[in-house]
Each structure stands twice: as C-alpha cells, then as structure tokens.
Amino acid sequence: MRLYITPTSPYARVARMVILEKGLGPSVEVVAAQTRTAGSPYYRVNPSGRVPYLEIPGKPGLEDSQLIVAYLDHISGPPSLMRHWADDDWLYGRLEATARSFTDGLSVWVRELRRPEGERSPGIIAHERQRAERLADQWEQDVSHPLMTGSINLAQLYLLAGLDQAAHWGIADHAASRPALAAWLTRMHKLPSAQATAPAVPI
C-alpha cells in the first residue's frame, strides 16, 4: 500500500500515526504529494487533490483520514484505533467530533495565513482564532477524561494533530495557558509515533 501525505497535514499525520501504532509501517510506503499546485501529477492519483490518500493494490484508493483508519483497522489486528461513538453514553463520539472540529478550524486558519497577504481574510482568521480558544477551554476540562488518557484513539490523535499544527505554524499555543492540556500534550509527545510524524520532521 502507498499513503500519500504532506508533511504538515494534520489529517495525514493521523493516518501515519495509526500505521505506526498498528505496526503496519513495513507494508505502507509513505509518499509526499504535491497538493495545491495547478497541474500536479498527484491529481492523476487522487482527483480531489487532498491528502491523506491510501492506494491499495488491486482496489480503488481511499481518501479521508477517518475512512483510511477504518480500513486499516479492518485489515489488521489490534490495537483498534476506531472506537464506537456510543461508548460512555456517546461521550466518545462527542470527543472525536469535537477534536475533528478543532482541527478543521485550525486548518482553515492555516490555509488563510498561507495565502498571499493581500488575499487573507481578517474576518475568517478572527472567527477561527475565537473558535479555537473556546474549544481549547473545553479541552482543558475534557483531556483528563479516561477516554483521552487511556488507549490511543482517533479523538486523541485529531486533538494532538490540531494542537501541533497550530504550534508548528506559530498561530497559537493553546497549551501555554492551560495546564491540563499542556500535561496531556507532553504525554502524547512521548509516543514514538507522534515523534516520527511531528510536522517539522521531514518524511
């Protein structure tokens, strides 16, 4: 199998961490894709042009981190990174959706900042900044829950990828003024899969 990524995509990072956590590294070649470039050869691989994208021999490829993780869980043994959304009376589903929402907003913010200065929208940046602050306050409470501190799951990975993405681009350090979030992040950064996929690490 071949996984197309960009080194700083938080969604690609989630897929890469899952591959490492499941010991699938030897069966998956990780390839850098050229995204956001007119005429990129990558568009012939994945017409949407997004990463992550998993190429599977003899089968159609898969786009989207959540779908890719579901597939990897399906074809391999434990640990399973997908949890049932209904776990703990639907708390797990809320945590995973909120982690994705947090990372989605930060991605919009980063995308805005990477546009030429005259094309950036101060309104969108302010909106995403405020959303991220509100959600970080909520995470300061939620990261202590056993679902966020126990065996690794997608809620944890999306939150880690989002927080690190914001820090990497220098747009926000959400853990700086939030001690529980800072302690959680320090623990997550000890995972070899987190270290191997940090946004600053070249592939």
- Give contact residues for ligand GSH (rule: CB under 6 A): 9-11, 35-36, 49-52, 64-66, 107
CB of 166 to ligand GSH, least distance (A): 13
Residue 169 burial by Cβ neighbours in a 10 Å radius (0-12, 13-18, 19+) = middle
Angle at 131 between CA 129 and CA 135, to 5 degrees: 120
In whole angstroms, give the CA distance from residue 167 to residue 54. Answer: 27
Nearest CA among 59, 55, 28 for reference residue 44: 55
CB of 176 to ligand GSH, least distance (A): 23
- In the bound state with ligand GSH, the residue whose beta carbon lies nearer, of 52 and 105, is 52
CB of 120 to ligand GSH, least distance (A): 17
- In the bound state with ligand GSH, the residue whose beta carbon lies nearer, of 11 and 92, is 11
Nearest CA among 76, 37, 38, 39 for reference residue 54: 76
Q: Look up residue 18 and give its two tokens.
A: 């899952």
Q: Half-sphere exposure of 152 toward its Cβ, with a 13 Å CA cutoff?
A: 26
CB of 172 to ligand GSH, least distance (A): 17
